[in-house]
A and B are shown apart, each in its own frame.
Chain A
Amino acid sequence: MRLLHAVLADIRFQLKHGFYLVYAIITVMYLIILSFLAENILSVALPLIVFSDPSVLGLFFIGGIILMEKGQGVLMVLVVSPLRTSEYILSKVLSLTIVSVLAALAITWFSNYPTVNWWLLLVATILTSGIFTLLGIMINAGCNTVNQYMLRTIPYMLLFILPCFALLGFPYSEFFVIIPSVAALKLMLGAYHGISGFETAALVIYLFAINYILLKLAVTTFEKRIVYQD
Chain B
Amino acid sequence: MIQITLFKNDLKQIVRDPIMTLLLLAPLLLIVVFELLEFFLVPYLAAEVGFDMTPWFSYVLAFVLLMNSGMLGIVTGFMMLDERDGNISQLLEVTPLGRIGYLANRLIFASTLSIIYALIGIAVFKWPNLPFFSIILLSVLSAFYTAIIGLLIFSGAEDKVKGLTFAKGLNTLVLFAFTDLFALPWLTFLSWVFPPYWLSLIIKTPQSLLVITLAIIVHMIWLGVLIFRYSKREA
Nearest B-chain residue to A23, judged by Cβ = B168
- The interface-forming segment of A1-9, A64-72, A106-114 is A64-72
Query: What are the residues of chain A within 8 A of B182 when measuring CB–CB?
Result: 32, 36
Query: What are the residues of chain A within 8 A of B187 when measuring CB–CB?
Result: 32
A150 within 8 A of B: yes
A75 shortest CB reach to chain B, Å: 14
Nearest A-chain residue to B162, judged by Cβ = A17
Task: Please report whether the interface of chain B is mostly helix, strand, loop or mixed according to DSSP.
Answer: helix
Docked Cα-Cα span, A32 to B172, in Å, equals 12
Whether the Cβ atoms of A64 and B23 lie closer than 8 Å is no
| Residues 52 to 72 of chain A near chain B (Cβ within 8 Å) | 57, 60-61, 63-65, 67-68, 71
Q: A26-B168, A146-B82 are in contact. Are A32 and B23 (CB under 8 A)?
A: no
Query: What are the residues of chain A within 8 A of B160 when measuring CB–CB?
Result: 64, 67-68, 71, 146
Query: What are the residues of chain A within 8 A of B168 when measuring CB–CB?
Result: 22, 26, 57, 60-61
Whether the Cβ atoms of B162 and A146 lie closer than 8 Å is no
Query: What are the residues of chain B within 8 A of A67 when measuring CB–CB?
Result: 160
Contacts from A to B (Cβ < 8 Å): 13, 17-19, 22, 25-26, 29, 32-33, 36, 57, 60-61, 63-65, 67-68, 71, 145-148, 150-151, 154
Q: A32-B184, A63-B164 are in contact. List 20 more A-B contacts (CB 8 A).
A: A17-B161, A17-B165, A22-B168, A22-B169, A25-B169, A29-B172, A61-B168, A64-B164, A68-B159, A68-B161, A145-B82, A146-B78, A146-B81, A146-B160, A147-B20, A147-B23, A147-B75, A147-B79, A151-B19, A154-B26
Rank and list the top 5 A-B pairs by shortest CB-CB distance, nearest first: A64-B164, A64-B160, A22-B169, A18-B165, A64-B161
30 pairs, A vs B, C-beta closer than 8 Å: A13-B161, A17-B162, A18-B162, A19-B165, A22-B165, A25-B169, A26-B168, A26-B172, A29-B172, A29-B175, A32-B182, A32-B184, A32-B187, A36-B181, A64-B161, A68-B159, A68-B161, A145-B78, A146-B81, A146-B160, A147-B23, A147-B78, A147-B79, A147-B82, A148-B19, A150-B23, A150-B78, A151-B23, A151-B26, A154-B26
